[in-house]
């Protein structure tokens, strides 16, 4: 799916938190609501709830200097929504895989558990063996071997409830992953966070049929 939405020539500067109106500034999802023609909100209906949560977290944990580089991603989240639990798993897995190798040691166990849980959920949905790992998850776990071993023991023979995963597991993974990346001792956490958001968008887009959605009525002022 491609989304034909363009940023207006003049737009509020992206900043942290919620804003009462565009004159006070805008966060990532508030600008998305504006471009989609929805009521001004950081929880617009045009975007999958967990993807929107990831966007808000990335917006708020990115530095002032780096945040403006997020603006180009805003049009791509408009109209990107589904009630398929696979989307929650894909978004949370992207967050866990990105965070696992770089977050502090005390957070790595939780991220490794999240990666294994997401894979187990997807395997169950697809009728594959529960210990099946996607290549990106295997790579992330190999970069944190101690956490991986602990998580394998912790999750051994544990089933994953779809309802609990959507309600608690996936949102917590996304929240802790973004916080951990923002605090990590890495050269450019801003770019890592942007890459996480862009990757999650690409992951859910890849599940969509090859159709084109055009948004012709886009606000330009």
61 and 100 Cβ atoms separated by less than 8 Å: no
Highest mean pLDDT among 2-11, 37-46, 152-161: 37-46
Q: Hey, is 14 helix, strand or coil?
A: strand
pLDDT (0 to 100) of residue 221: 33
Count CB atoms within 10 A of the CB of residue 194.
19
| CA dihedral sign, ordered 93, 97, 98, 100 | positive
Taking the C-alpha atoms of residue 218 and residue 168, their distance in angstroms, rounded to an integer, is 34
pLDDT at position 6 over 70: no
CB neighbours (10 Å) of residue 53? Answer: 20
Q: Model's pTM, two decimal places?
A: 0.87
Exposure on the CB side of residue 27, measured as CA atoms within 13 A: 22
pLDDT tens digits, one per residue of 46-64: 999 999 999 999 999 999 9
Q: What's phi and psi for 184, nearest 5 deg?
A: -70, 150
> Please, where are the H alpha helices in the chain?
28-35, 49-61, 64-67, 74-77, 85-99, 105-126, 135-142, 145-155, 162-164, 170-183, 189-205
Q: Which residues contact 109 (CB under 8 A, 6 or more apart)?
A: 147, 150, 151, 154
Over the stretch 83-101, which tens digit does the pLDDT of each residue have?
Answer: 999 999 999 999 999 999 9
Residue 168 structure tokens: 């608690």
What's the pLDDT tens digit per position in 97-148?
999 999 999 999 999 999 999 999 999 999 999 899 999 999 999 999 999 9
């Amino acid at each position: 799916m491609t989304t034909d939405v363009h940023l207006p020539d003049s737009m509020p500067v992206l900043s942290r938190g919620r804003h009462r109106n565009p004159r006070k500034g805008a966060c990532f999802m508030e600008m998305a609501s504006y471009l989609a023609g929805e009521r001004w909100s950081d929880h617009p209906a045009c975007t999958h709830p967990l993807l929107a949560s990831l966007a808000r977290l990335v917006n708020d944990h990115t530095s002032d200097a780096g945040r403006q580089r997020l603006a180009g991603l805003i049009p791509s989240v408009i109209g990107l929504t589904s009630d398929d639990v696979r989307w929650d798993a894909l978004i949370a897995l992207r967050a866990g895989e990105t965070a696992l190798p770089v977050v502090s040691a005390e957070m790595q166990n939780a991220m490794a558990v999240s990666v294994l849980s997401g894979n187990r959920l997807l395997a169950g949905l697809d009728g594959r063996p529960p210990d099946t790992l996607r290549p990106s998850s295997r790579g992330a776990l190999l970069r944190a071997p101690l956490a991986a071993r602990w998580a394998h023991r912790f999750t051994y023979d544990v089933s994953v409830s779809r309802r609990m995963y959507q309600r608690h597991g996936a949102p917590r993974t996304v929240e802790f992953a973004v916080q951990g990346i923002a605090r990590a001792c890495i050269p450019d956490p801003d770019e890592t966070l942007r890459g996480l958001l862009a990757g999650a968008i690409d992951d859910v887009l890849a599940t969509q049929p090859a159709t084109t959605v055009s948004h012709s009525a886009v606000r330009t002022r």
